[in-house]
């Protein structure tokens, strides 16, 4: 299908009148034209998806509400991946192009779709009946076809919208026109394979003008990013297009004495009480790890992220990040600590009811209870929404019965409270708070792992386990939002924690290089060793700066939220967590891969001694490998980054087109460059400004 600018303008007019529509399109033609238009809430356009994993990751990032339109997708696995993702995201319908009607194709697709078959969909030959069924269910239908009339259904404000993009004219136009209950008919030029809706502009009322943008940076011509809701913090991703230094940045100099004291407490605890028992920890001595976590609770290290109202300290994300970094000297312990304070506790902090918070948070903050997060399943890793754990509501509506198996659950061996994800009625992905004493709950044996050997990693097994209905966390069918947003926090803190271990590796390598002598002098005097040390320090400095800058943005955004409001938790998620999805994925990738690089170079600097357990580099080298796998693999995060970026550009949240126009002007005329910032770093500042373009 050839999509022209005029066609896109017409679609823009259609969507601008609605504020509840996101669109996901797999059309390379749309991709080429899309960025010139701004939609009411946004339209993410991607090239034809060729990998199932890419399709699901992109859909997970853009979370379309109503529409998935497939244009000549030839691989059933790809279509199945889109179906499963759309199913988990509560998309209302999926419609397939004519090329998907072959019986063998259908059979293969049914295998790949799995439980997503329950999602309404339409095969091309059956479109008339299918569209009638969708209309009867309350859908409004908009049909856009390349070879005939364009039919626009009358759209009531609360209608659910289905957008049909047909790539082949034969057999589509007439059934669609019949089913769409058209109110407006727009003629296209005969023989032109395009959508020409511009001619209808004079016959329709003008679309509402987009809301004005609030400039982020004062320099005219450079990008300006709007901050929704008047947030003082720079929006996520704005650093891509805003001038260097356009917004204040948190640095290590901004920590208070109290912040540094918390960090010192964490580091001294690990050095004095955890590392001396490392051999016992890695041998999985019974009861040792939970005892250490409870001891950390006595020192106040488990209550940093819990609001004061529920027995915590309610400290800033920058403080929490600093404590995580300083406590990362022993990964077996820090992984368990992070699983408790982060992904184990924060779901209740952000999404729990008042009763749930009062019941669980004081115990979690003190260490009386320990927590775990149960999302992954044997057949659902990166494809988290394909999980098979089921939750069935008993007659009377007071209890759910959960059945399923969760895989690789950190802290499973001793956790008192699990955040468990299951599907209600077979398709509504939902989070539950499940206590360890629940009948039917058990765990498998400990996994024997390459690294983080001292942490507890087991299966969580649920066999018809009764869970009271008041333990549902958040809303039924909205568990994917909890899962993805809590993982954002996990990624963000994992990236920073990795830098703590990397600093330890650099410190060991530097001290060794100064003391080790070869050829009559310290090896630190050789250029090749100096190069290694410099490269390690450079990457650590970059990752460290990225981490605390992002944490500072989260704190600024959180400061704008009324923490006493009933919905404070969810607002914090939207403004201080979800807003920085892009940064969380970048930090996860860069931080974990920085640790891998530094551990490898440190081991190489130590030579044969680095390969022995006499030095901590050997342990850091083993422990670091898992970081690129859990909290979303680095491959998945590399897909999330461009998908999130494209969505926000389409929504007008990142003014990328204005930025590119200014770059073009600056390329032609140097006089249009922003004025240099005076000071000792003027050259570096200008270089960074040019590099960003």
Q: Which residue numbers are catalytic?
A: 631
Contacts of 317 (CB under 8 A, 6+ apart): 551, 554, 555, 558, 576
What 3-state DSSP class applies to 120? coil
Q: Which residue has the tokens 């490269």?
A: 535
Instruction: Please report the DSSP string for 449-500 in residue order.
Output: -SS-TTS-EEEEEEEEEEEEGGGEES-TT-HHHHHHHHHHHHHHHHHHHHHH
User: How far is Cα 548 from Cα 252, in angstroms, rounded to an integer?
Assistant: 8
> Burial of 355 by CB count in 10 Å (0-12 exposed, 13-18 middle, 19+ buried)?
exposed
Q: What tokens were used for 330? A: 């022993």
Q: Which of 120, 40, 38, 121 is nearest to 73 (CA)?
A: 121
Q: Which of 405, 403, 395, 306 is nearest to 348 (CA)?
A: 306
Three-state SS letters, 219-255? CCCCCCCCCHHHCCCCCCCHHHCCCCCCCCCCCHHHC
Q: What tokens were used for 342? A: 């982060």
Taking each helix axis as running N to C, give the angle between helix 257-269 and helix 317-326, from 0 to 180 degrees, rounded to the nearest 10. Answer: 30
Enclosing H/E stretch for 165: strand 160-165
**Dihedral sign computed on CA atoms, order 9, 11, 13, 19:** negative
Three-state SS letters, 562-624? CCCCCCHHHHHHHHHHHHHHHHHHHHHHHHHHHHHHHHHHHHHHHHHHHHCCCCHHHHHHHHH
Q: What tokens were used for 352? A: 């729990």
Order of all β-strands in the sheet with 121-122: 43-46, 23-26, 67-70, 93-95, 121-122
Q: Which of 583, 689, 664 is nearest to 219 (CA)?
A: 689
Contacts of 448 (CB under 8 A, 6+ apart): none
User: How far is Cα 583 from Cα 593, in angstroms, rounded to an integer?
Assistant: 15
Give Cα separations from 328 to 325, 464, 582, 601 (angstroms). 5, 38, 24, 19
User: How far is Cα 559 from Cα 581, in angstroms, rounded to an integer?
Assistant: 18
User: How far is Cα 469 from Cα 460, in angstroms, rounded to an integer?
Assistant: 20
**Cβ neighbours, 10 Å, residue 439:** 9
Strands 428-435 and 517-518: unpaired
Looking at residue 211, what DSSP letter applies? P
Do 551 and 317 touch, CB atoms closer than 8 A?
Answer: yes
């Amino acid at each position: 299908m050839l999509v022209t600018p005029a066609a896109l303008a017409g679609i823009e007019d259609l969507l601008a009148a609605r504020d509840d529509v996101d669109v996901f399109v797999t059309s390379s033609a749309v991709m080429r034209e899309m960025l010139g238009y701004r939609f009411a809430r946004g339209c993410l356009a991607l090239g034809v998806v060729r990998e199932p994993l890419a399709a699901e990751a992109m859909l997970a990032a853009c979370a379309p509400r109503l529409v998935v339109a497939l244009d000549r997708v030839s691989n059933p696995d790809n279509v199945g991946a889109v179906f499963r993702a759309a199913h988990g995201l509560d998309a209302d319908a999926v419609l397939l192009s004519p090329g998907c009607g072959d019986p063998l194709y259908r059979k293969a697709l049914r295998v790949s779709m799995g439980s997503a078959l329950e999602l309404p969909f339409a095969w091309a030959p059956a479109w008339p009946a299918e569209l009638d069924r969708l209309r009867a269910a309350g859908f409004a239908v908009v049909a856009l076809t390349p070879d005939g009339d364009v039919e626009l259904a009358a759209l009531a404000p609360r209608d659910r919208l289905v957008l049909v993009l047909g790539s082949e004219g034969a057999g589509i136009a007439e059934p669609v026109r019949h089913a769409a209950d058209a109110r407006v008919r727009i003629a296209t030029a005969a023989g032109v394979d395009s959508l020409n809706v511009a001619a209808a502009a004079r016959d329709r009322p003008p679309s509402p003008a987009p809301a004005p943008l609030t400039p982020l940076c004062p320099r005219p011509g450079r990008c300006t990013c709007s901050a929704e809701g008047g947030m003082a913090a720079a929006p996520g991703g704005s650093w891509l297009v805003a001038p260097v230094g356009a917004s204040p940045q948190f640095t290590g100099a901004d920590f208070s004495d109290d912040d540094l004291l918390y960090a010192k407490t964490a580091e001294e605890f690990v050095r004095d009480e955890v590392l001396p028992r490392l051999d016992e920890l890695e041998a999985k001595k019974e009861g040792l790890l939970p005892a250490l976590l409870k001891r950390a609770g006595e020192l106040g290290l488990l209550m940093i992220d819990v609001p004061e109202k529920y027995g915590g300290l309610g400290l800033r994300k920058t403080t929490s990040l600093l404590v995580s970094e300083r406590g990362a000297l022993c990964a077996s312990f820090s992984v368990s600590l992070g699983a408790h304070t982060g992904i184990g506790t924060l779901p209740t902090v952000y999404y729990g009811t008042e009763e749930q918070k009062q019941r669980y948070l004081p115990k979690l903050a003190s260490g009386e209870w320990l927590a775990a997060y149960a999302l992954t399943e044997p057949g659902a890793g990166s494809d988290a929404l394909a999980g098979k754990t089921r939750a069935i509501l008993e007659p009377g509506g007071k209890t759910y019965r959960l059945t399923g198996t969760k895989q690789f659950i950190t802290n499973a061996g001793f956790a008192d409270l699990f955040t468990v994800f299951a599907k209600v009625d077979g398709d509504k992905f939902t989070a539950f708070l499940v206590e360890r004493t629940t009948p039917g709950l058990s765990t498998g044996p400990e996994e024997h792992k390459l690294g983080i050997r001292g942490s507890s990693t087991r299966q969580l097994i649920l066999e018809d386990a009764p869970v009271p209905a008041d333990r549902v966390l958040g809303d039924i069918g909205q568990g994917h939002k909890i899962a993805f947003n809590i993982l954002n926090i996990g990624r963000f803190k994992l990236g920073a924690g990795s830098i703590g271990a990397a600093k330890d590796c650099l410190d060991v390598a530097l001290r060794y290089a100064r003391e080790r002598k070869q050829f009559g002098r310290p090896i630190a005097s050789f250029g090749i060793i100096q190069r290694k040390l410099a490269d390690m320090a450079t990457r650590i400095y970059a990752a460290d700066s990225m981490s605390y800058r992002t944490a500072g943005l989260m704190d600024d955004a959180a400061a704008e939220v009324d923490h006493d409001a009933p919905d404070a938790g969810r607002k914090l998620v939207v403004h201080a967590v979800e807003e920085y999805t892009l940064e969380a994925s970048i930090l996860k990738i860069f931080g974990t891969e920085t640790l891998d690089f530094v551990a490898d170079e440190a081991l190489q600097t130590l030579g044969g001694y680095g390969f022995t357990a006499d030095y901590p580099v050997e342990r850091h080298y083993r422990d670091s490998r898992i970081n690129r796998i859990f909290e979303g693999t680095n491959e998945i995060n590399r897909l999330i980054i461009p998908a999130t970026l494209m969505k926000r550009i389409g929504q007008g949240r990142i003014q990328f087109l204005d930025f590119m126009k200014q770059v073009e002007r600056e390329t032609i005329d140097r006089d249009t460059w922003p004025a240099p910032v005076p000071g000792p770093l003027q050259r570096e500042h200008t270089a960074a400004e040019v590099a960003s373009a």
